């Protein structure tokens, strides 16, 4: 196993933590001097925050740990190609290198839709390595969405079954209809006329 694969496995572990919470499984770690200094996994649902992407969580933790907003000399290992927001933050952080597991052709901004990490117009460009543990990174996501589809289908079926059984319960059976004289004034003779 290469050093890149070793750290990508740790990012995959973070992605699985997200999946365990029902979040889209994306994970990352930041490595400095051969050590993991920060971890992050997607928590957008639980934190009710657009900003709770794995990469931003890890960037924030790494900066706190180093006591510096600059992440010079650091490498991020991330299971899925970063979005426009995270790619922008990575450029801002001056991180040296980003290692990507699998690409995100619909939203990735480190080579798919755009390559924000390597725009010559910005004052910092990030070295990129693609396709480390690609199959495993991709499988974490496809497995998650396959499970989700099954769960949604099961919940739908359970809801339909519950609705059907409550409809059956609502149907009046012989002998259970209310008596014909179900007048509220008869039921409660102490009405306003007697109690001014």
Q: For 11-28, give one letter per residue: b (16+ CB within 10 A) or e.
A: bbebbebbbeeebbbbbb
Select from 12, 28, 74, 86 the one that contacts Zn ion (CB under 5 A): 86
Residue where the block lists tokens 């901004």: 109
Residue closer to Zn ion by CB (options 29, 86) is 86
Q: Which of 97, 16, 92, 87 is nearest to 55 (CA)?
A: 87
Q: Which stretch binds Zn ion (CB under 5 A): 29-37, 42-50, 78-86, 113-121?
A: 78-86
Least separation in angstroms between CB 84 and Zn ion: 8
**Residue pair 58/38 in contact by the 8 Å Cβ criterion:** yes
CA dist., res. 68 & res. 131, Å (int): 30
CA distances from 60 to 38, 89, 97, 172 (A): 8, 10, 17, 62
| Length, in residues, of the chain | 196
Nearest-CB residue to Zn ion? Answer: 86
* Residue 83 binds to Zn ion (criterion: CB under 5 A): yes
Least separation in angstroms between CB 53 and Zn ion: 4
Residue closer to Zn ion by CB (options 78, 133) is 78
Select from 23, 40, 43, 53 the one that contacts Zn ion (CB under 5 A): 53
Least separation in angstroms between CB 85 and Zn ion: 5
* Residue 11 binds to Zn ion (criterion: CB under 5 A): no
Active site residue 55: yes
- Interface ranges with Zn ion (CB under 5 A): 53, 83, 85-86
Active-site amino acid positions: 55
């Amino acid at each position: 196993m290469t050093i890149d694969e070793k750290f990508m496995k740790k990012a995959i572990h973070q992605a699985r933590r997200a999946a365990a919470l029902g979040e889209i499984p994306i994970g990352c770690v930041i490595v400095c001097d051969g050590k993991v200094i920060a971890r992050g996994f997607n928590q957008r649902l639980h934190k009710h925050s657009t900003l709770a992407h794995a990469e931003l969580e890890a960037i924030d933790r790494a900066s706190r740990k180093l006591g510096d907003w600059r992440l010079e000399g650091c490498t991020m290992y991330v299971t899925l190609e970063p979005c426009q927001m995270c790619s922008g933050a990575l450029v801002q952080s001056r991180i040296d290198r980003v290692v990507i597991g699998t690409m995100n052709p619909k939203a990735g901004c480190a080579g798919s839709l755009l390559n924000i990490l390597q725009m010559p117009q910005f004052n910092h460009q990030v070295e990129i390595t693609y396709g480390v543990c690609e199959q495993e990174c991709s499988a974490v996501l496809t497995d998650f969405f396959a499970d989700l589809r099954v769960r949604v289908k099961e919940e739908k079926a359970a809801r339909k079954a519950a609705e059907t059984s409550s409809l059956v319960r609502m149907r009046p059976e012989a002998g259970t209809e209310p008596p014909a004289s179900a007048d509220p004034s008869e039921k409660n003779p102490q009405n306003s006329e007697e109690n001014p």
